[in-house]
């Protein structure tokens, strides 16, 4: 049984059923359940539709909006959302709702596997607070997920590691059986350590990004080129080439939320995590820096028509949660610019972002028409491979491109007549 058909839940449910397990996926959103029952994925993820269709047809995968623990359920995987609260804390209300239901419903032994990202220490608290009250023995196992959006199915079958935290050998073995067809190093530890692996990994990757953004900013000041610098740096195997792409910083539903939550947990425990504070601050600063760079190039933003290319927080996803594009659009609007946004797949911006009056199009050449400047927020293939000759024709002087992802070939772009500004690119 998998509770929650969001990113992690739906990928877990489909992939586990594909591996031959009998999976019931519970999702309280009835519309989502209706859609999933018809074989239509509710997330944009390569390969998921095929598995979904196959497993619905062979009966290994079922969906329901009713929370019922069937008699033969051995394992319940919790994959509900743990969003950020305004003060950085994690909102555990969805997780706690599930625990309340388990306590009421359960009549036979069960292994509860936590895949939702919960801060270090929370698993032990949940165990004490809820599971002792259940009518049947419940064992708790932490099994954090390291899937990347847009590559989630591939990541499921090819993980760098599988982390399992728990104190019952029997339950840990049961969880290991779920992954018997997956080759990866498996690390067994206590619940809190497993929770920490997840946060430490995301915080470390976020640190790499903010570090390289600081170096890029310094490159701009001293005349070095970040692309050359990172290519050579990355060849040191202790550093590695990944997560050294400078630009507008990290977005998405994970890094921003998890870095804030770890910082909160640190403060709560009397630990001043200065490095992490700086990582968060640098990340926010990159978006402001980009708009400042554009303002400097244009003289002023008021009355200028600016095309924002790429709304999703990264390519190959339609997710706009904490996307740098949203902050950039807000800042541009605040400065009086007229904004038109393009994304190859994002169709609208959630009302919660407050940007509901921004024009969005899925046609790049339409977006750039009469623009004085463009800001590239996502390195989509459709943007990199756009017909830049045509883009030039459609735009209005001074035809500035702020390449927030350093993804365009500067020399060719300048040769076409554009004024190019990168993030640490010479
Ligand atoms: C991230 C982690 O990579 C996953 O391992 C983890 O499971 C997931 O969070 C999670 O906690 O659920 P994801 O948010 O899908 O996955 O995205 P990433 O591919 O890691 O990218 C995150 C952000 O960092 C994006 O905005 C991306 O543009 C930015 N980034 C990434 C850079 O600015 N520079 C880089 O070099 C790499």
Over the stretch 228-260, which tens digit does the pLDDT of each residue have?
A: 999 999 999 999 999 999 999 999 999 999 999
Phi/psi of residue 360, each to 5°? -125, 140
C-alpha of residue 251 to centroid of ligand 1, in Å: 7
pLDDT recorded at residue 359: 87
Local structure of 278: helix, strand or coil: helix
pLDDT recorded at residue 12: 98
Report whether pLDDT(355) > 90: no
Q: What is the DSSP string of 349-388?
A: --GGGT-TTSEEES-HHHHHTT-SEEEE-S--HHHHTS-H
Does 44 sit in the ligand 1 pocket, CB within 6 Å?
Answer: no
Mean pLDDT in residue range 298-315: 96
Does 251 sit in the ligand 1 pocket, CB within 6 Å?
Answer: yes
pLDDT recorded at residue 349: 73
Report whether pLDDT(348) > 90: no
pLDDT digits (tens, 9 = 90+) for 180-224: 999 999 999 999 999 999 999 999 999 999 999 999 999 999 999
C-alpha of residue 130 to centroid of ligand 1, in Å: 33
pLDDT recorded at residue 215: 98
Mean pLDDT in residue range 286-295: 98
Contact 390, 365 (CB under 8 A): yes
E strands present in 246-347:
305-309, 338-342
What share of the chain in percent tops pLDDT 90? 94
Using alpha carbons only, give the angle 212, 194, 182 rounded to the nearest 5 degrees: 90
d(CA 399, CA 9): 44
Contact 301, 239 (CB under 8 A): no
C-alpha of residue 74 to centroid of ligand 1, in Å: 33
Lowest mean pLDDT among 101-110, 314-323, 349-358, 372-381: 349-358
Does 314 sit in the ligand 1 pocket, CB within 6 Å?
Answer: yes
pLDDT digits (tens, 9 = 90+) for 35-53: 999 999 999 898 999 999 9
Q: What is the residue with the minimal CA distance to atom 35 of ligand 1? A: 243
Q: What is the residue with the minimal CA distance to atom 29 of ligand 1? A: 250
Report whether pLDDT(9) > 70: yes
C-alpha of residue 195 to centroid of ligand 1, in Å: 18
Residue 352 or residue 30, greater confidence: 30
Mean pLDDT in residue range 54-72: 96
Mean pLDDT in residue range 169-177: 97
Does 247 sit in the ligand 1 pocket, CB within 6 Å?
Answer: yes
pLDDT digits (tens, 9 = 90+) for 385-411: 999 999 999 999 999 999 999 999 999
Report whether pLDDT(350) > 70: no
387: phi > 0 → left, psi -120 to 50 → alpha, else beta; which?
beta
Q: What is the residue with the minimal CA distance to atom 36 of ligand 1? A: 243
* 353: confidence class by pLDDT, cuts 50, 70, 90: low
Phi/psi of residue 74, each to 5°? -100, -35
Q: What is the mean pLDDT of the chain?
A: 96
d(CA 421, CA 401): 6
* 358: confidence class by pLDDT, cuts 50, 70, 90: confident
Of the residues 25, 55, 219, 254, which is catalytic? 254
Using alpha carbons only, give the angle 366, 367, 372 rounded to the nearest 5 degrees: 115
The preferred substitution site among 118, 143, 148 for testing ligand 1, maximizing ligand atoms within 8 Å of CB, is: 148
Report whether pLDDT(154) > 90: yes
Report whether pLDDT(351) > 70: no
Q: Which of 146, 180, 139, 151 is nearest to 163 (CA)?
A: 146
Q: Assess whether 254 carries a catalytic annotation.
A: yes
d(CA 371, CA 253): 31
User: Tokens at residue 164, please?
Assistant: 């399992």
Mean pLDDT in residue range 315-333: 94
d(CA 58, CA 52): 10
CB proximity list for 306: less than 8 A, separation 6 or greater: 294, 332, 337, 338, 339, 340, 371, 372, 373, 374, 375
The preferred substitution site among 11, 230, 252 for testing ligand 1, maximizing ligand atoms within 8 Å of CB, is: 252
C-alpha of residue 198 to centroid of ligand 1, in Å: 13
């Amino acid at each position: 049984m998998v509770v929650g058909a969001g990113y992690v839940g739906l990928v877990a449910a489909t992939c586990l059923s594909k591996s031959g397990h009998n999976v019931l996926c519970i999702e309280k959103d009835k519309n989502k359940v209706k859609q999933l029952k018809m074989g239509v994925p509710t997330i944009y993820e390569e390969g998921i539709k095929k598995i979904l269709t196959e497993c619905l047809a062979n009966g290994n995968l079922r969906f329901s909006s009713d929370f019922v623990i069937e008699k033969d359920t051995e394992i319940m995987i919790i994959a509900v959302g743990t969003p950020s609260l305004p003060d950085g804390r994690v909102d555990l209300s969805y997780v706690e709702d599930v625990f309340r239901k388990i306590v009421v419903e359960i009549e036979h032994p069960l292994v509860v596997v936590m895949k939702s990202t919960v801060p270090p220490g929370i698993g032990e608290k949940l165990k004490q607070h809820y599971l002792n009250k259940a009518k049947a023995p419940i064992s708790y196992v932490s099994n954090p997920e390291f899937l990347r959006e847009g590559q989630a199915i591939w990541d499921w079958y090819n993980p760098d590691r599988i982390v399992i935290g728990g104190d019952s050998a029997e339950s840990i073995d049961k969880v290991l059986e779920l992954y018997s067809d997956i080759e990866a190093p498996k690390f067994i530890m206590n619940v809190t350590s497993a929770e920490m692996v997840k946060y430490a990994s995301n915080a470390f990757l976020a640190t790499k990004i903010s570090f390289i953004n600081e170096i890029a900013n310094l490159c701009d000041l001293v005349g070095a080129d970040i692309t050359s610098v990172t290519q050579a740096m990355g060849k040191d195997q202790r550093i590695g080439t990944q997560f050294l792409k400078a630009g507008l910083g990290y977005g998405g539903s994970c890094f921003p939320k998890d870095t804030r939550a770890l910082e909160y947990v640190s403060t709560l425990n009397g630990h001043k995590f200065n490095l992490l504070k700086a990582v968060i601050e640098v990340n926010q600063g990159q978006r402001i820096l980009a708009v400042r760079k554009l303002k400097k190039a244009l003289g002023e933003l008021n009355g200028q028509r600016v095309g924002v290319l790429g709304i999703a927080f990264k390519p190959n996803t339609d997710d706009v949660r904490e996307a740098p594009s949203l902050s950039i659009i807000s800042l541009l609007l605040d400065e009086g610019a007229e904004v038109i946004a393009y994304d190859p797949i994002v169709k609208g911006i959630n009302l919660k972002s407050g940007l509901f009056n921004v024009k969005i199009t899925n046609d790049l050449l339409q977006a750039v028409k009469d623009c004085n400047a463009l800001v590239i927020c996502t390195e989509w293939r459709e943007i990199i491979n756009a017909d830049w000759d045509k883009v030039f024709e459609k735009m209005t002087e001074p035809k500035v491109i702020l390449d927030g992802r350093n993804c365009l070939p500067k020399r060719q772009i300048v040769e076409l007549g554009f004024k190019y500004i990168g993030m640490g690119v010479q």
